[in-house]
Structure 1
Amino acid sequence: MWMILSSSPQTPQIHDSITPLRRGYNLQVKSTRTRITFPFNFKLKCHQQSSLKPKTQDDGIPIEDVKTLAKFKSRHNYIRVLEVSRKADHPFRGSRLLLLDTPGNIHSISFLFKTLTDTYFDVFATLPPIIPPGPIAVLGFGAGSTAHIILELYPDAVVHGWELDPSVIEVAREYFNLAKLERENQHKLFVYVGNALTATLEGGFSGIFVDLFSKGSLIPELQEPATWEKLRTCLKKGGRIMVNVGGSCVEAENKFRDGKVVMEETLKAMKMVFGEKLFVLRLGNRGDDSSLALTGDFPKSDSWKNALPSSLRCYVDLWTPYSGI
């Protein structure tokens, strides 16, 4: 299997302002500021705060506040695990970050003392109340950010995750508490190493999260309607798919794989399969920074909000029908 299937938080990026991380320099030895960005700050967008302009995810982190815990090349990925100091003046303080490609896109994030991340993983966590009971698939498991949030917020959930690179799962168990999560959820969390697009389960999935990136870009299969037709057949009646479709924030290894263009091609392929039952949530300072997609009839907003923790209700009103074709 040639593709890299991995979890990619709207693919924020890490850059050293003098020597880019993509060239393999050790972040710990540079006395400059490292720019670690998700392309949006959810709290500000959702709660409409901020006349005081607090630090956001676009602000730099002093290099001395970032520690490299692991760095190596696997068969599929250039794997790096970074830890941001709890003393850092930044929304990522106290977090661990998983990078999997040469440009340095972040694929997973976890915090030691909190569940929610103020990233698109929190939007993923709004799906369970609007799907029927049953197993949930995570296609592009990464270090398990999605599974961790879902199992923490919804104790009855059952999660099946697919990740192509066994080295990513090993790193997740060592640095992102996946081993503990598996022990505590032996009958509710199942992790498979393999091609996520072959994922199946007898009886189907109630919900499917799609978070599949290769070399800093959505995998090409997601721009093909046949892929979405196949995934639709994997759903139970009333099931839904929620997708990280990336955007202009994504930096691909191939300069011809423009993030915004690939995002729109993916949405158009989904539109051909799901028709009017396709909705988009666009994020970031610019409308095309990063987007998520949701399939199915749009739920009743009040009922959806009432079923969510208060900190997640703001995302419901950000969805709009997709009209790109």
Structure 2
Amino acid sequence: MRKLTVRCLLLVGVTLFSNASIAKVIHSERSLYRNILVEETGDLRCLKFDEKTRQSSQSCMYKSKPKKLVFNYTKLTFASLLMIDNPKNVLIIGLGGGTLSNVIHELYPQATIKNVEIDPAVIKVARDYFDFKESEKVTSKVQDGRIFIKRAALKKQTFDWIILDAFNGDYIPEHLLTKEFFEEIKSVLAEGGIVAANTFSSSKLYEHESATYHAVFGDFINVTTAKKSNRIILAGFNKAPTKEHLTERVKKLAPLLAPYSIDIDAVSKGMRSTKNNQDWPSDTKVLTDQYSPANLLNF
């Protein structure tokens, strides 16, 4: 899933590590792309990609309460359901421990969910250590997310919920942050569908990412919390929801999402449209395949 920085760890550390347990490595391997670690700290099991510092977590779960979501960004992702109802074709780019896929499958068992992950070792770890569930409806494919999108477009495939959650241990891969890629995403987005992208509010790429999403999708919605370390970008919708619509959706979704520790009412209050609220300079340079210096700007 996504990188949890030292800064973010400080924000959630009291909750996650209050038992002061010492982390225990229960699995370690070097894949084609990265170092992979699975660590346990008391009741918490985490997937990490940084063997040297172990300061980043891509996915975590409570062993005693696997349904309860650990990370704030995961909960914010479900703001998507305030924009769409009963998704039928879901695409997730970036697997991590498979948490998003598992929750969506439980909520919408008839939905087809395609998980795309470039690293086969991550898929195996998700199966072995994080209870990632697969079936006829839920599949995983080893492929670069951009290649998958290109081929899906050629096949005229569309998805009504596209979740971008690919991280390489440092940040979002550069080729998954460009105007050209977002245009490819838009080409496979079903009418009335939604794109949800996991990113940082604190990144130096914030303005560039915002300008790039806006260049392709027009006005979008930022979903954040008061601490504003994470943000989910909701884009691709035709019309922003009214206050009345949000109230109705919150009422319907609240009991369904509560078992996963998602306070959808609180999440809805963190939604802010960029319409009349553009918080980046109008001359901000858009990221393209020719100009995407993510490695220089992300921190």
What TM-score, normalized to structure 2? 0.77
Letter in 1 for 2:218: G
The structural deviation recorded for 1:60 is 6.3
Q: Which residue of 2 aligns with 1:164?
A: 118
Letter in 1 for 2:248: S
Q: Which residue of 2 aligns with 1:304?
A: 249
The structural deviation recorded for 1:130 is 3.0
Q: Which residue of 2 aligns with 1:110?
A: 61
The structural deviation recorded for 1:302 is 1.4
Q: Which runs of 4+ in 1 moved over 3 A?
A: 38-41, 101-104
Which of 266, 286, 292 aligns to 2:232? It is 292
The structural deviation recorded for 1:38 is 6.9
Asked if residue 280 in structure 1 is aligned to residue 237 in structure 2, the reply is no
Asked if residue 320 in structure 1 is aligned to residue 272 in structure 2, the reply is yes
Aligned equivalents of 2:10, 2:104: Cα separation in 1: 21
Gaps of 5+ in 1: 1-6, 15-34, 42-54, 86-93, 249-259
SS in 2 for 1:79: strand
The structural deviation recorded for 1:284 is 5.7
Aligned equivalents of 1:38, 1:141: Cα separation in 2: 24
Gaps of 5+ in 2: 256-262, 283-299
Aligned equivalents of 1:95, 1:309: Cα separation in 2: 25
The structural deviation recorded for 1:115 is 1.3
Contact 2:28 2:35 in 1 (8 A): yes
Q: Quote the RMSD (CA, aligned, Å).
A: 2.4
The structural deviation recorded for 1:62 is 2.4
Q: What number of residue pairs does the alignment pair up? A: 255
Q: Residues 258-299 of structure 1, C-alpha deviation per residue, up to 9 Å, x if partnerless?
A: xx11233222210111112x01122363x3x22110012322
What TM-score, normalized to structure 1? 0.71
SS in 1 for 2:240: coil
Which of 99, 118, 130 aligns to 2:83? It is 130
Which of 88, 104, 110 aligns to 1:150? It is 104
Asked if residue 96 in structure 1 is aligned to residue 68 in structure 2, the reply is no
Bigger drift between 221-230 and 204-213 goes to 221-230
Q: Name the % identity.
A: 21
Task: Mark the CA change 1:284 to 1:39 in structure 2 (over 3 Å): closer, same or farther.
Answer: farther
Letter in 2 for 1:131: I
More helix by share: 2
Contact 2:82 2:250 in 1 (8 A): no
The structural deviation recorded for 1:246 is 2.2
SS in 1 for 2:224: strand
Aligned equivalents of 1:39, 1:187: Cα separation in 2: 38
More strand by share: 1
The structural deviation recorded for 1:126 is 3.7
